[in-house]
Amino acid sequence: MFRLVDKLSVGLSKASLRQTVLSNNLANVNTPGFKRSDVVDNLSFSSELSQAQGSSLRRTHAKHLSGGLTGKSRGAFSVVQDTSTTMRTDGNNVDVERERVLLLENWLYYESLIDAVTRKLGQLRSVIGEGRR
């Protein structure tokens, strides 16, 4: 259960960083020469998440691999700048409408991860309380 919550927290970290980056893009929409940035996956978070959900493997020996997030997985995303496009003659490449759509998409992603974490922790709460409310 906690492995899944750990993986969800990586997704939450990515969404939080992406919110900051996209907001910065909008804040610089009128800055000449500004190039937009975005957050990209170095590893596929969604494939790791689906693997964690479908996995029933247990660590039965101390020398076995844990299957949890490694240090490499925690750095599974990075900020990259788009220098290949230009929207205006001043060199700026921020499209306000596109950034707003990406912000909305990111917000929905973040909210769905929060909902998943809440449900998992609710299950744990139910188990601890032996199903009583």
pLDDT in tens, 100-124: 999 999 999 999 999 999 998 888 8
Task: Note the pLDDT of residue 133.
Answer: 59
Q: Which residue has the higher pLDDT, 129 or 116?
A: 116
Q: How confident is the model at residue 67 (pLDDT cuts 50, 70, 90)?
A: very low
Let me know if 19 is exposed, middle or buried by CB neighbors in 10 A (0-12, 13-18, 19+): middle
Q: How far apart are the first and last CA of the chain?
A: 21
Task: Note the pLDDT of residue 85.
Answer: 85
Q: What is the pLDDT of residues 24-60, one digit of tens each?
A: 999 999 999 999 999 998 765 455 555 555 554 555 6
CB atoms closer than 10 angstroms to residue 11: 22
Rg of the chain taking only CA atoms, in angstroms: 19
Q: Which two tokens stand for residue 44?
A: 């596929």
Instruction: Say yes or no to pLDDT of 19 above 70.
Output: yes
- Rounded to two decimals, the pTM is 0.68
Task: Note the pLDDT of residue 116.
Answer: 92
Cα 52 to Cα 26: distance, rounded to the nearest angstrom: 35
